Amino acid sequence: MRPAIIRKTAADLRVAPNSPLTWEEARRALAGLPGGGLNIAYEAVDRHAAGANASRVAIRWLPAAGAPRDFTFADLASLSSRFANVLRGFGIAKGDVVFVLCARIPELYAAVLGGLKLGAMVSPLFSAFGPEPIRTRVNLGRGKVLVTTELLYQRKIAKVEAGMPTLAHVMRVDGEEGRRLVAEASDRFEIERTDAETPALLHFTSGTTGTPKGAVHVHGAVVAHYATGRYALDLHPEDIFWCTADPGWVTGTSYGIVAPLVHGVTSIVDEAEFDTERWYRNLQDQRVTVWYTAPTAIRMLMKAGAEVARKYRFPELRFVASVGEPLNPEAVWWGKDVLGLPIHDNWWQTETGDIMIANTPAMDVKPGSMGKPLPGVEACIARRTDEGVKIVDLPGVEGELALRAGWPSMFRGYLDQEERYRKCFAGGLYFTGDLARRDADGYFWFVGRADDVIKSAGHLIGPFEVESALMEHPAVAEAGVIGKPDPVVGEVVKAFVSLRAGFEPSEKLRMELLGHARKRLGAAVAPKEIEFAPSLPRTRSGKIMRRLLKARELGLPEGDTSTLEGTA
């Protein structure tokens, strides 16, 4: 049995960790627009380009094939200003919505930053989306311009372009006209006057059913980008930082674009898709010091085996963090065993805009816990009742995770869904929809989404706990757990399991896994059924879609599947 806690000592910290900042201190650390106001792109590139960081590498781009290419802060300021001028030439004005659909190429980053300079609301889209998810989002946002590439246009946009009536321009950045427009545009641009409450980013999050929700974020979110990049990810000026998330997701925007640039650090941007050997080679050859990735990627590395990792060396790597869904304890320990560093889980949502709860570098790590609230974040376990909001102070008691409203990166609305937005708040709290508990030491533990919790014979069972226990077995690569209706106990626990290389499904293995889970969890919580599957349905951002497992098991409507892997 693994220890319940990984103790940290001074020897575990290769550099002295950053001290926390209040939101006010973080705001004072930023420059602000000359003459007043606040703009994410100015804080991310232009203030650096005008100072000592002008020649520092902002982005080291690793193309899918070919040699790396460096972009300094001066380069990025110039290129993003060209894009801002091109967008202005299209008639885009402050408040208009610009969509960006590109692979992880330099033009993606320049287009996002250029749109922010112009005061537009920018919505990066995941390049693996199929035509219909793209059309849906552009129409929901009433997008006027879509920035993309020739390949993506031909494969996806051309099929649905006629069905996007607000779309006035499609700019293909690698096409003849797109290249000409950028080349001829001025590299000087006076940033539009924006302030902390000016809309800046539009991130879509899939609903359980129905259409995606568009969460609106403002320029003031950059205060939280700065504070959390400093404290939760411990960014220092000399760091080489790699966030593996695509900018089509909120993590890839907040921490793949904004936070590292605001801190003036060098970011690695890899155009290629996941490949075990390539990722280890990136960590080694690019001398990555801080790595922010996802549980899905960690599980895929685990599945490939520790012997692959041992072919490489990462002496500069000092901090590894993960987000996207809860990180199973076995994955935390895998980091410790294979990389020499535990994986530090953290928690936040599209709606929160930034990390809210985290295992920071100097904290003792309790594998399976999301950590503790960051400075300035007030988190609690709460329940909504007919009498009002009840805050639960007792350790170990489960309830809905809630945050005191008002942090800088809090979303300011769901696009065109004001009533739905208001329902997220009560008693001055934002209710996250995640069930959790707090222990006596102040660590928070994820239980499940409110609609994922299994009710069996009077017990409330969190699927994450069952999945984590199954993953402790050497045969299990991934597990997804649902509640299956039962006329006697209400629901029984059913697990879907994919196996590691070298293991084959069999009745003997099924019984072994059932026995393992019963021993670890007890008969009331352990699964009653296990079904083997080659793979589990996941969103493109890596989350196991339990609701889809349940819908398929019960023959129910699958709801919004636009973010599902394999739907492009």
Distance, in Å, from the CA atom of 94 to the CA atom of 261, rounded to the nearest integer, reads: 23
Q: What is the pLDDT of residue 560?
A: 57
* Burial (CB count within 10 angstroms: exposed 0-12, middle 13-18, buried 19+), residue 12: middle
* Burial (CB count within 10 angstroms: exposed 0-12, middle 13-18, buried 19+), residue 177: exposed
Quick check: is 375 in a domain? yes
Per-residue burial over 236-260, b = 16 or more CB atoms within 10 Å of its CB, e = otherwise: beebbbbbbbbbbbbbbbbbbbbbb
Q: Is the pLDDT of residue 43 over 80?
A: yes
Quick check: is 389 in a domain? yes
Are 412 and 461 contained in the same domain? Answer: no
What CATH number corresponds to the domain at position 368? Answer: 3.40.50.12780
As a whole number, mean pLDDT of residues 25-46 equals 97
Distance, in Å, from the CA atom of 60 to the CA atom of 287, rounded to the nearest integer, reads: 12
Residues of the domain holding 464: 451-554
Q: Which residues pair with 215 in a beta bridge?
A: 203, 414
Are 503 and 399 contained in the same domain? Answer: no
- Confidence at 450, pLDDT banded by 50, 70, 90: confident
Q: Is the pLDDT of residue 561 over 60?
A: no
Q: Is the pLDDT of residue 300 over 90?
A: no
Are 249 and 374 contained in the same domain? Answer: yes
What CATH number corresponds to the domain at position 518? Answer: 3.30.300.30
Q: What is the pLDDT of residue 76?
A: 98
Quick check: is 507 in a domain? yes
Are 264 and 323 contained in the same domain? Answer: yes
The closest of 248, 429, 428, 220 to 350, measured between CA atoms, is 248
Could you tell me if 233 and 259 are in contact, meaning their C-beta atoms sit under 8 angstroms apart?
Answer: yes
Are 433 and 533 contained in the same domain? Answer: no
Are 420 and 482 contained in the same domain? Answer: no
Q: What is the pLDDT of residue 214?
A: 96
Model pTM score: 0.85
As a whole number, mean pLDDT of residues 433-448 equals 93
- Confidence at 131, pLDDT banded by 50, 70, 90: confident
- Confidence at 347, pLDDT banded by 50, 70, 90: very high
Quick check: is 5 in a domain? no
Are 158 and 179 contained in the same domain? Answer: yes
Could you tell me if 415 and 141 are in contact, meaning their C-beta atoms sit under 8 angstroms apart?
Answer: yes
Could you tell me if 309 and 334 are in contact, meaning their C-beta atoms sit under 8 angstroms apart?
Answer: no
Q: Return the amino acid letter for 417.
A: Q
As a whole number, mean pLDDT of residues 489-515 equals 92
Q: What is the pLDDT of residue 357?
A: 98
Question: Cβ neighbours of residue 441 under 8 Å, at least 6 residues apart?
Answer: 366
Question: Cβ neighbours of residue 365 under 8 Å, at least 6 residues apart?
Answer: 5, 6, 8, 332, 342, 344, 359
As a whole number, mean pLDDT of residues 203-219 equals 80
Could you tell me if 248 and 126 are in contact, meaning their C-beta atoms sit under 8 angstroms apart?
Answer: yes
Are 535 and 467 contained in the same domain? Answer: yes
- Confidence at 544, pLDDT banded by 50, 70, 90: confident
* Burial (CB count within 10 angstroms: exposed 0-12, middle 13-18, buried 19+), residue 282: buried
Q: Is the pLDDT of residue 548 over 50?
A: yes
Q: What is the pLDDT of residue 558?
A: 65
Tell me which of 103 and 540 has the higher pLDDT.
103
Lowest mean pLDDT among 76-80, 302-306, 378-382: 302-306
Query: Percentage of the chain with pLDDT > 70?
Result: 95
Quick check: is 1 in a domain? no
- Confidence at 186, pLDDT banded by 50, 70, 90: very high
Distance, in Å, from the CA atom of 424 to the CA atom of 463, rounded to the nearest integer, reads: 23
Are 321 and 187 contained in the same domain? Answer: yes
Query: Average per-residue pLDDT in the chain?
Result: 92
Q: Is the pLDDT of residue 563 over 60?
A: no
Lowest mean pLDDT among 62-66, 74-78, 437-441, 561-565: 561-565
Are 336 and 375 contained in the same domain? Answer: yes
**Which three-class secondary structure state does DSSP give residue 538?**
strand
- Which of 438, 465, 483 is the last residue before a domain boundary? 438
Q: What is the pLDDT of residue 176?
A: 97
- Confidence at 568, pLDDT banded by 50, 70, 90: very low
Lowest mean pLDDT among 31-35, 503-507, 535-539, 549-553: 535-539
The total of structural domains in the chain comes to: 2
Q: Could you tell me whether strands 425-426 and 429-438 are parallel, antiparallel, or unpaired per DSSP bridges? A: antiparallel
Q: Could you tell me whether strands 490-499 and 529-532 are parallel, antiparallel, or unpaired per DSSP bridges? A: parallel
pLDDT digits (tens, 9 = 90+) for 63-112: 999 999 999 999 999 999 999 999 999 999 999 999 999 999 999 999 99
**Which three-class secondary structure state does DSSP give residue 476?**
strand
- Confidence at 209, pLDDT banded by 50, 70, 90: very low
Are 403 and 279 contained in the same domain? Answer: yes
Q: What is the pLDDT of residue 243?
A: 98
- Which of 438, 468, 485 is the last residue before a domain boundary? 438
Query: Percentage of the chain with pLDDT > 90?
Result: 77
Are 359 and 465 contained in the same domain? Answer: no
- Confidence at 538, pLDDT banded by 50, 70, 90: confident
- Which of 381, 416, 438 is the last residue before a domain boundary? 438
